[in-house]
Amino acid sequence: MASWNSVPLHVSYEVLGWLTFVCWSISFYPQVYLNYRRKSVVGLNFDFVLLNLTKHSSYMLYNTSLYFSPTVQKQYKDKYGQNEMIPVAANDVAFSSHAVLLTAITLFQIAIYERGNQKLSKIACGIVFITWLVVTICFFIALPEHHWLWLLSILNVIQVCMTTIKYIPQAVMNFLRKSTEGWSIGNILLDFSGSVGNYAQMLMQSIDQGSWMNFYGNIGKISVFFDILFMFQHYVLYWHNKGPEAKIAPEVDITKSIDRPMELLLEEVEMEEIEKWPLVS
């Protein structure tokens, strides 16, 4: 593990790391509180929550196994070198465990609060089923020879894939409803702040080590892209459809868009609006 050349950069790196940890950790609470205050989850996409739970569950298994298991740690050092540090810290374990808990609470809120006509889509359920089926198969492949580090690499790939796709259902739903009502922007602002802090960390490390390799292929770029998209939807595109007094577009069953062309779905929404117009004599 390379040592730091600059003490100020090292201190800045550590401070930014904990600030990032705090931002990302508390980013789950605004949505939970919003659901509780409204006693409704209308506007929150259920597919996003399910995919997010899968993402954080795989990430938690990866972190806890690598942090607590001497067997996995030995396999890691045998592969990457005895002087290499384990790339999982206590705050990684705490964050991922906390994320699973808060996402599970959000899923419970979906079960007990007003949810309109939205349901989990077959595509999202299929993705999650296939994901955990793959994990189960890989577990039994790894079991005879105890290839646990290989199994953890599969879990890491899964959490990266889930990060890539999990925001898509919510972004599409906001577009169809022409509103972000029910989707907490606080979650996005905190997530974006954490991502900025994470990039600042990488910048400090790159300046100190004289290498920019840690920027290449960083999955955080995807989260930042969606954060910016959600902020654009909330503050620019659909700013007039916010608040309890705002006129919200009709609730659209997001699962219908999977089975029918977009044009037909939009025509249905327009017809529902026309039926609400008063007759003029």
Q: Is pLDDT larger for residue 178 or for residue 274?
A: 178
Band (220; pLDDT cuts 50, 70, 90): low
- For position 214, what pLDDT does the model report? 56
Give percent of the chain above pLDDT 90.
Answer: 48
Asked if residues 88 and 152 have their Cβ atoms less than 8 Å apart, the reply is no
- For position 205, what pLDDT does the model report? 76
Please state the rounded mean pLDDT for residues 204-214: 71
- Read off the amino acid at residue 241: N
pLDDT at residue 269 greater than cutoff 60: no
Q: Using DSSP, how many helices (H) and how many strands (E) does the chain show?
A: 12, 0
| Coil/strand/helix, residue 88 | coil
The set of residues, in sequence order, having a beta carbon less than 8 Å from that of 93 and lying 6+ positions away, is: 60, 63, 64, 67, 68
* Bridge partners, 70 (sequence order): none
pLDDT at residue 94 greater than cutoff 70: yes
Band (273; pLDDT cuts 50, 70, 90): low
Distance of CA 5 to CAs 15, 118, 173, 199, 210, Å?
A: 17, 54, 48, 19, 10
Task: Return the residue matching tokens 């906001």.
Answer: 174
The most confident of 72-86, 197-211, 226-240, by mean pLDDT: 226-240
- For position 247, what pLDDT does the model report? 42
pLDDT at residue 208 greater than cutoff 80: no
User: pLDDT tens, 237-258?
Assistant: 888 766 543 444 444 444 444 4
Asked if residues 43 and 177 have their Cβ atoms less than 8 Å apart, the reply is yes
- For position 12, what pLDDT does the model report? 85
Please state the rounded mean pLDDT for residues 134-140: 96
- Between 10-19, 42-51, 173-182, the lowest mean confidence (pLDDT) is in 10-19
Q: What is the mean pLDDT of the chain?
A: 82
Residue 55 CB neighbours (<10 A): 24
Please state the rounded mean pLDDT for residues 79-97: 79
pLDDT at residue 128 greater than cutoff 90: yes
Band (139; pLDDT cuts 50, 70, 90): very high
The most confident of 112-121, 129-138, 179-188, by mean pLDDT: 129-138
Please state the rounded mean pLDDT for residues 186-203: 87
- Read off the amino acid at residue 22: V
